[in-house]
A and B are shown apart, each in its own frame.
Chain A
Amino acid sequence: MSEPWTLGLAEAACLVRAGELAPSELVASVLERLETVEPLVHAFVSVDPEAALAEARAKDARAGGPLHGIPIAIKDIFDVAGVPTRSGCAARADAEPARQDAAAVAALRVAGAVLIGKTHTHELACGVYTPPTRNPWDTARSAGGSSGGSGAAVAACAAMGAIGSDTGGSIRIPAAHCGIVGLKPTYDRVSRGGALALSWSLDHVGPLTRRVEDAALMLEALAGLDEPLLAPGEDVAGLRVGVLRGAPFAPVEADVEDALERAIASLGDAGVTLEEVAVPALERGLAAEFSIVAAEAASYHEARFAETAGQITDDGIRGLLETGLLLPASVYLRAQRTRRLIQDALAAAFAAHRLDALLAPTVPAAPQLHDQLEYRLGGRQEPVIEALVRTTAPFNLTGLPAIAVPTGLGAGGFPGSVQIAARPFDERTALALARAVERRATPLGVPRGLELATANPT
């Protein structure tokens, strides 16, 4: 058997269930890998190897749930009993340890997962950079955000899976930047209890993994589903998929267009019928998203804002909260009404074209440099945050399940990614289509930025 840390989550779970791999062996291997790569990627806020190993040893002698003995990382906005939740914010540096697990964390424990550590988040889960985390494909670049620590940890094989939150792309953006799978389930499919909120009506909780089948397994655990979401021989032939190319999914870099074409070809090979679909209402999404986030985030933090404002490091987040506290109610409500327009427009597109799912680029460009504030796309400068959120926010506003899946390496040397969105609560279809893309994509292999660490695992 190859080193256990190289296994996929579902593959490892299968070996553990069959008694061919001990949880302690698996966890020890992943912790060793973590120790090797962490100095390069800075994915973790805290790791407790002794506790993780002790928990894994205790699982060696007994059978357990579907994630029995699987090492999982937790974004540091979710409460983990006995560990502070700092949310990437200096104001929370001295936070007391949480008294109980967040609902999603508790669900993972019930399924048998071993929690190995907490991962970095962009401050208050509001941003697309996640300092100090680095991208495993190029450490000079961002892992994306706000679940960037989770994305980098999973891509670097320092965890078999992780959980993140997605308010405007915060699971799918790091997944795309790091070359892994990120699943934002249907709104409220996974409980938000015990997690820091950014925007109550837009926040989603979901997994980041290296393979589609791993994401399915994690979602089953997180949502407490009894039936498997992915059957081994599930066929996607005959499904109908709408391809979204117009704004806000354009403009994009050439590599992103290539990734979309590869996914279209893969799904066509699998017997899927693809059709170009235009939904002009989606162009309004970014303005609605930003108004809703500003108002809801400001309200969530209002009670503590006077004390903590000075400790918010990211000037943009402080400004967002200040603006949210001053924003007229009429603008917030207009955003929520615009959101209804968008929901109706997408529902109408599904109905008119008899679609099972939608396909679009996950993000419009390669990972940004740590200090890069703008992309040049379509001949004009565009703020990085607007570029990355404009392609992901439509599925936060509509609450539809959306999965980001790698399409292989692009000419520029970074992983390509597309997202597949399905009807509400139909994660099964999104996962099946994502697996069809994954099966036809060239495997990404070890991230380039980690080659040195892999070659010299000391």
Chain B
Amino acid sequence: MNDELVARLADALGVPLSPERRAAAAESLAAQVAAGGGAAPEELDGVEPAVRFEPEPRT
């Protein structure tokens, strides 16, 4: 994830990102992507997202 790529992505998505903020955004985005939301895709095979909250414990 480099500054130029992040700048182009921000432009394409209409996200206001000034030049002096590109490096920090690139670093943060790289960290988020690396963290991958907490699990690798293969670990999540067959797992549905918790987009609908179910308060009852599932066993």
Would A334 and B39 count as touching, CB distance under 8 A? yes
Q: What residues on A are CB-neighbors of B29 within 8 Å?
A: 323, 326-327
Would B37 and A326 count as touching, CB distance under 8 A? no
Would A290 and B35 count as touching, CB distance under 8 A? yes
Alpha-carbon gap, A425 to B10, bound state (A): 42
B19 at the A interface (CB under 8 A): no
Q: Which of B2-58 touch A at CB < 8 Å? A: 6, 9-10, 13, 15-17, 21, 24-25, 28-29, 32-33, 35-39, 41, 43-44, 47-51, 53-58
Q: What residues on A are CB-neighbors of B54 within 8 Å?
A: 343
Q: Which of A284-314 touch B at CB < 8 Å? A: 284-288, 290-292, 294, 305-306, 309
Alpha-carbon gap, A318 to B20, bound state (A): 13
Alpha-carbon gap, A305 to B21, bound state (A): 15
Please give me the residue from chain B that is nearest to A323 by CB atom: B28
Q: What residues on A are CB-neighbors of B33 within 8 Å?
A: 327-328, 331
Q: What residues on B are CB-neighbors of A337 within 8 Å?
A: 37, 39, 44, 47-50
**Number of A-B residue pairs having CB atoms within 8 Å of each other in the complex:** 125
Would A334 and B36 count as touching, CB distance under 8 A? yes
A350 at the B interface (CB under 8 A): yes
Q: How large is the interface on B (under 10, 10 to 19, 20 to 34, 35 or more residues)?
A: 20 to 34
- Chain A interfacial residues counted at CB < 8 A: 49
Alpha-carbon gap, A333 to B48, bound state (A): 9
Please give me the residue from chain B that is nearest to A325 by CB atom: B15
A186 at the B interface (CB under 8 A): yes
Q: Which residue from A306, A315, A332, A399 sits with its C-beta under 8 Å from B55?
A: A399
Q: Which residue from A327, A347, A399 sits with its C-beta under 8 Å from B32?
A: A327
Alpha-carbon gap, A423 to B24, bound state (A): 40
Alpha-carbon gap, A287 to B36, bound state (A): 7
Alpha-carbon gap, A347 to B58, bound state (A): 5
Known: A344-B58, A424-B55. A319 touches B38 (CB 8 A): no
Alpha-carbon gap, A339 to B54, bound state (A): 12
Would A338 and B15 count as touching, CB distance under 8 A? no
Would B37 and A351 count as touching, CB distance under 8 A? no
Alpha-carbon gap, A337 to B56, bound state (A): 17
Q: What residues on B are CB-neighbors of A336 within 8 Å?
A: 37, 49-51
Known: A323-B25, A323-B28. A334 touches B57 (CB 8 A): no
Q: With both chains docked as a complex, state the minimum distance between the C-beta of A323 and any C-beta of chain B, in angstroms.
A: 4
Would B53 and A341 count as touching, CB distance under 8 A? no
A357 at the B interface (CB under 8 A): no
Alpha-carbon gap, A306 to B55, bound state (A): 36
Q: What residues on B are CB-neighbors of A309 within 8 Å?
A: 16
Q: Which of A417-442 touch B at CB < 8 Å? A: 423-425
Please give me the residue from chain A that is nearest to B57 by CB atom: A347
Kindly list 20 other residue pairs between chains A and B, CB separation below 8 angstroms, not including A287-B37, A288-B38, A336-B51: A290-B35, A306-B16, A309-B16, A319-B25, A322-B24, A323-B25, A325-B13, A326-B10, A334-B36, A335-B38, A336-B49, A336-B50, A337-B39, A337-B48, A339-B49, A340-B47, A341-B39, A343-B50, A343-B54, A346-B57
A interface residues with partner B (beta carbon < 8 Å): 186-188, 201, 284-288, 290-292, 294, 305-306, 309, 315, 318-320, 322-323, 325-328, 331-341, 343-344, 346-348, 350-351, 397, 399, 423-425
